[in-house]
């Protein structure tokens, strides 16, 4: 790989004490098992008497189910049973936030997209289950499907009653009319952004098992075990105590395994409950692409007023998000669009409105960035447009309006000390050698007729954790147990989904306890150990679970220190614990020896930790207040080369600076930044979902849904700004999502710069770009 990585740190608080793990590059604690193929993913689970389930999906995007005939399928060899809506003992409802998603469409009801399930076939083999699913005969009355935001807004065909259109959120700050009246220039533009598929390596899947406690245990690939627990309990009509969820090693999530695993677990659990046998339900890649959530296609209309001197005066935004057939998480995803639509700058007059619209397509949901990359693409495109009209340097224009500690955000939230916005702008400027870079690119463009380079910049902020809309969910627990041999077991409610959570938790536990990192075991999450810890989303796990682990470990460390001090007959303050050793002026013991001594003396060596978000003051009616606990900031500069003959774009250089509060595991932070960039670049340049006129997805596998490969991966220069966040464990904020968020905007701005015409749509596939290039050629001639 030619990706050059370079880390620069410009701001760093003095260390309170010398740390062994925090901030160092750490090897992944679960890496070896994964690399050797030993890690157990859900499809690796096989159990005695296990049955296989295959859903019967709707053949139509919009249709009334007249009748379901299962007789032929039932007689097929190997079929155990065929489950329909009448077999559901609890509620026929999957939705976590919006309740409009029946698990199995009942006769007389409507299917609202091709991924709605009508029945589930349970069989002894996967082959028989597949065959059975083909043999279930469903009689439909086909309705006209609603397939675009425009069709949905007409509201003549309804996906759900009473309307396709829902006004979800608003921001109101200052006096918008006065803001525009005081502006010297006003800019207006509409931007459109498409779908994105998460493209996790492992498709969705679950194994549900009737367990020895008289309930159901579900194993599977997921981000949010507690969502799965409530969905299974709801559909089965069970008490929560009879539903236990254990996450298996998970091959990627990116938000795609936030709510969707509930929609796989509930059917699997129902089949297990009805048959009394373990049941496996794993989606094929095609089923996964058709049925499971995507990033929202969004349309953004923006109006921005500025003074001649470049001061932002007013921002008005209207945002429409395509929710697809079911509401699922849309209200909360679009809430983030609401908070971020007016950009990352100081501006006194703001008005934002956000609508969700139903269509007969795949339900859209959580995806790394959660409704913010789309609106930042729009806003940061406007920033470039304005800078070029004003004839000012784009970076300078951003710096002039950027947020500092003590400033108010677009929603009126006063920012804390951990606000590294300006630092990221300055670091990116240095990393890229900004003014020379612009000259270098200009030189290249002078010399080349058919290839043009462009430089793009984007500056973003990101509300870490769930924010005001998710306040009640924003708390996490941990359970830490030290065994008498000194080994440490850590249970948390957050999940490892490839992002490096286990390593971060092990590092925090090791650092806090003074034990060696290889003595820490972070278990697969299990809902029976740790109370509801909310979802593993919103870049919140290091912050929330990390704090919970730290708190539990602080108590345990204190107890061990006291036991050791007592034994050594010294003051506890004289005791040092580091790297698996307790020491004091009169002697030392290993961590294991102290643990054994505690065990002999009945000193309890298990403890729970809990971290909850402080209440936020957001007022949804007014659309004003504190939206998030804190914000992460980033500035990204990219260089692209455009082939004017074909419209192909290559991203060549990336300079990116991220304010992370504190990097817990330096290598993992770099990995997130590189991975987030590549995923954002795919969204910007090549990834799209295509539907035919009947609402059937045409791009149903990775031969037609194209994502970037290592060939498209550019060179990176990465910088970290570390301004510790006082509530974060060791000052950490989050990086999972901010790594991706600036990228679509930065890439689009670079392409616009290269061709001399504004890109207003993502993805910038060659076809769209060539249409801009030919328009531009016609204008110039």
Among 228, 589, 686, 755, binds other proteins (CB under 8 A): 686
Give 209's DSSP letter.
Answer: E
Put residue 362 in one of left, alpha, beta given phi > 0 → left and psi -120 to 50 → alpha.
Answer: beta
* Binding map of other proteins across residues 115-154, x = CB under 8 A, - = no contact: -----------xx--x------------------------
Three-state secondary structure call for residue 724: coil
Distance of CA 191 to the CA centre of its chain: 22
Report the residue number, 617 or 646, with the smaller CB distance to other proteins. 646
646 scored as a contact of other proteins (CB under 8 A): yes
DSSP 8-state symbol, 357: E
Both structure tokens of 309: 């001197």
The least CB distance from residue 214 to other proteins, in Å, is: 33
Interface with other proteins (CB under 8 A), residue from 647, 731, 736, 742 = 647
Residue closest to 514 by CA, chosen among 451, 604, 581 = 581
Select 414 or 645, whichever has its Cβ closest to other proteins.
645
Kindly state the smallest distance separating residue 286's Cβ from other proteins, in Å.
8
Using the rule CB under 8 A, is 770 a contact of other proteins?
yes
Taking the least distance from each CB to other proteins, the nearer of 435 and 774 is 774
Q: Does 3 bind other proteins (CB under 8 A)?
A: no
Residue from 373, 486, 500, 708 touching other proteins (CB under 8 A): that is 708
Give me the least distance between CB of 72 and other proteins, in Å please: 19
Which two three-digit tokens encode residue 605?
């060596």
Give the interface segment with other proteins, choosing from 105-113, 382-390, 633-641, 645-653 (CB under 8 A): 645-653
Contacts of 191 (CB under 8 A, 6+ apart): 299, 300, 302, 377, 378, 381, 760, 761
Give strand pairing partners of 320. Answer: 299, 355
Mapped onto helix, strand or coil, the DSSP state of residue 424 is: helix
Give the largest Cα separation in the chain, rounded: 90
Find out whether 381 and 759 touch, Cβ atoms under 8 Å.
yes
165-173 sheet: strands from edge to edge: 165-173, 349-358, 312-324, 298-306, 185-193, 761-762
- Does position 50 interact with other proteins (CB under 8 A)? The reply is no
Are 296 and 374 within 8 A, CB to CB?
A: yes
- Give the one residue of 89, 698, 726, 775 binding other proteins; rule: CB under 8 A: 698
With CB under 8 A as the contact rule, the residue among 567, 583, 648, 666 that binds other proteins is 648
CA atoms within 13 A on the CB side of 244: 17
Given its phi and psi angles, is residue 742 left (phi above 0), alpha (psi -120 to 50 degrees) or beta? alpha
List the one residue from 438, 528, 706, 776 that touches other proteins (CB under 8 A). Answer: 706
Task: Determine if 317 is a binding residue for other proteins (CB under 8 A).
Answer: no
Closest approach, Cβ 13 to other proteins, in A, equals 43
Compute the distance between CA of residue 139 and CA of residue 779 in angstroms, rounded to an integer. Answer: 55
Q: Is residue 558 a contact point for other proteins (CB under 8 A)?
A: no
Least distance CB 767 / other proteins (angstroms): 4
Edge-first strand listing for the sheet containing 587-590 = 576-578, 581-584, 587-590
Q: How far is the CB of 690 from other proteins (least distance, A)?
A: 6
Show contacts with other proteins in window 747-766 (CB under 8 A): 765-766
Taking the least distance from each CB to other proteins, the nearer of 126 and 157 is 126
The two structure tokens encoding residue 83:
């489950």
> Minimal distance in Å, beta carbon 640 to other proteins?
14
Minimum CB separation of residue 711 from other proteins in Å reads: 5
By CB under 8 A, the count of residues binding other proteins is 25
Task: Tell whether the torsion through CA atoms of 38, 260, 318 and 685 is positive or negative.
Answer: positive
Angle of helix 372-390 relative to helix 742-755, nearest 10 degrees, comes to 40
Distance CA 558, CA 553 (A): 8
Q: Which is nearer to other proteins, 443 or 767 (CB)?
A: 767
- Please say which residue, 566 or 767, places its beta carbon nearer to other proteins: 767
711 binds other proteins (CB under 8 A): yes
> Which are the contacts of 3, defined by CB distance < 8 A and separation ≥ 6?
674, 713, 714, 715, 716
Q: Which of residues 703, 778, 779, 780 is near other proteins by CB under 8 A?
A: 703
**Selected binder of other proteins within 545, 679, 699, 739 (CB under 8 A):** 699
Q: What three-state secondary structure class fits 188?
A: strand
Residue closer to other proteins, measured from CB, 127 or 485: 127
- 137/149 Cα distance (integer angstroms): 32
**Which range, of 70-78, 487-495, 520-528, 647-655, touches other proteins by CB under 8 A?**
647-655
Pick from 709, 778, 779, 781: which binds other proteins (CB under 8 A)? 709
Phi-psi region of 673 (alpha: psi -120 to 50; beta: other; left: phi over 0): alpha
Nearest Cα neighbor of 589 from 558, 550, 563, 554 is: 563
Residue 666: how many CA atoms within 13 Å on its side-chain side? 16
- For residues 418-477, which are near other proteins according to CB under 8 A? 450
Out of 109, 240, 712, 757, point to the residue binding other proteins (CB under 8 A).
712
Choosing from 67, 579, 774, 775, the residue that interacts with other proteins (CB under 8 A) is 774
- Which of these segments, 203-211, 222-230, 378-386, 707-715, binds other proteins (CB under 8 A)? 707-715
Least distance (Å) from other proteins to the CB of residue 772? Answer: 12
Considering the complex, state which of residue 446 and residue 703 has its C-beta at the smaller distance from other proteins. Answer: 703
**Which residues contact other proteins by CB under 8 A?**
126-127, 130, 450, 645-648, 650, 686, 690, 698-699, 703-704, 706, 708-709, 711-712, 765-767, 770, 774
């Amino acid at each position: 790989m030619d990706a050059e990585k370079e880390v620069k740190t410009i701001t760093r608080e003095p260390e309170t004490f010398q740390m062994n793990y925090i901030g160092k590059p750490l090897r992944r604690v679960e890496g070896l098992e994964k690399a050797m193929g030993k890690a157990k993913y859900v499809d690796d689970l096989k159990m005695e008497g296990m049955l296989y389930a295959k859903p019967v999906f709707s053949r139509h995007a919009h249709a009334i189910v007249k009748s379901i005939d299962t007789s032929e399928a039932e007689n097929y060899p190997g079929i155990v049973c065929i489950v329909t809506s009448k077999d559901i003992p609890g509620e026929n409802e999957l939705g976590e936030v919006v309740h409009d998603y029946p698990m199995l469409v009942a006769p007389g009801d409507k299917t609202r997209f091709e991924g709605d399930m009508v029945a589930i076939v349970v069989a002894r083999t996967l082959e028989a289950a597949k065959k059975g699913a083909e043999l279930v005969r469903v009689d439909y009355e086909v309705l006209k499907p609603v397939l675009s935001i425009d069709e949905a807004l007409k509201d003549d065909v309804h996906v759900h009653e009473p309307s396709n259109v829902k006004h979800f959120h608003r921001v109101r700050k200052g006096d918008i009319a006065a803001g525009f009246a005081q502006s010297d220039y006003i800019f207006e533009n509409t931007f459109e952004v498409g779908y994105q598929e998460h493209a996790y390596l492992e498709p969705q899947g679950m194994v549900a098992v009737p367990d020895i406690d008289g309930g159901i245990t579900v194993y599977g690939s997921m981000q949010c075990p507690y969502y799965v627990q409530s969905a299974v309990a709801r559909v089965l009509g069970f008490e929560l105590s009879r539903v236990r969820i254990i996450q298996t090693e998970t091959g990627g999530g990116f938000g795609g395994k936030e709510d969707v695993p509930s929609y796989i677990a509930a059917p699997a659990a129902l089949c297990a409950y009805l048959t009394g046998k373990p049941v496996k339900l794993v989606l094929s890649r095609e089923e996964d692409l058709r049925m499971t959530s995507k990033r929202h296609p969004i349309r953004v209309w923006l109006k921005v007023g500025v003074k001649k001197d470049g001061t932002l005066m007013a921002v008005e935004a209207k945002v429409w998000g395509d929710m697809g057939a079911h509401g699922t998480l849309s209200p909360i995803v679009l809430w983030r669009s609401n908070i971020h639509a007016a950009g990352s700058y100081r501006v006194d007059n703001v008005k934002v409105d956000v609508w969700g619209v139903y269509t007969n397509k795949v339900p859209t949901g959580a995806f790394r960035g959660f409704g913010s990359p789309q609106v930042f693409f729009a806003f940061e495109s406007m920033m470039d447009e304005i800078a070029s009209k004003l004839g000012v340097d784009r970076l300078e224009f951003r710096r002039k309006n950027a947020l500092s500690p003590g400033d108010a955000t677009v929603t009126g939230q006063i920012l804390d000390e951990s606000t590294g916005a300006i630092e990221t702008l300055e670091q990116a400027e240095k990393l890229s050698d900004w003014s020379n870079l612009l000259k270098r690119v200009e030189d290249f463009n002078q010399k080349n007729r058919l290839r043009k380079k462009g430089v793009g910049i984007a500056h973003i902020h990101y509300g870490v954790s769930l924010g005001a809309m998710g306040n009640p969910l924003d708390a996490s627990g941990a359970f830490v147990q030290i065994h008498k041999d000194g080994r440490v077991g850590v249970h948390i409610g957050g999940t490892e989904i490839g992002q490096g959570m286990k390593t971060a938790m092990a590092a925090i536990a090791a650092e806090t306890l003074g034990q060696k990192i290889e003595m820490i075991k972070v278990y697969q999450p299990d809902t029976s150990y740790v109370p509801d810890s909310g979802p593993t989303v919103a870049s919140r796990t290091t912050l929330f679970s990390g704090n919970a682990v730290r708190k539990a470990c602080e108590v345990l460390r204190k107890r061990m220190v006291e036991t050791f001090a007592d034994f050594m007959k010294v003051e506890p303050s004289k005791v040092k614990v580091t790297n698996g050793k307790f020491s004091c002026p009169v002697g030392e013991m290993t961590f294991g020896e102290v643990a054994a001594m505690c065990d002999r003396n009945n000193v309890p060596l298990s403890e729970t930790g809990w971290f909850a978000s402080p209440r936020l003051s957001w007022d949804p009616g007014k659309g004003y207040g504190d939206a998030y606990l804190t914000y992460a900031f980033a500035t990204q500069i990219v260089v692209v080369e455009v082939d004017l003959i074909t419209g192909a774009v290559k991203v060549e250089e990336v300079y990116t600076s991220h304010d992370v509060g504190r990097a817990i595991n330096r290598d993992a932070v770099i990995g997130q930044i590189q991975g987030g960039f590549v995923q954002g670049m795919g969204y910007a340049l090549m990834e799209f979902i295509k539907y035919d006129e009947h609402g059937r997805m045409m791009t149903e596998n990775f031969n037609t849904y194209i994502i970037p490969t290592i060939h498209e991966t550019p060179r990176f220069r990465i910088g970290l700004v570390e301004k510790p966040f006082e509530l974060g464990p060791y000052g950490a904020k989050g990086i999972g999502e901010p790594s991706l968020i600036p990228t679509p905007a930065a890439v689009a701005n670079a392409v616009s710069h290269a061709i001399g015409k504004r890109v207003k749509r993502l993805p910038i596939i060659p076809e769209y770009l060539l249409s801009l290039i030919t328009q531009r050629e016609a204008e110039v001639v």
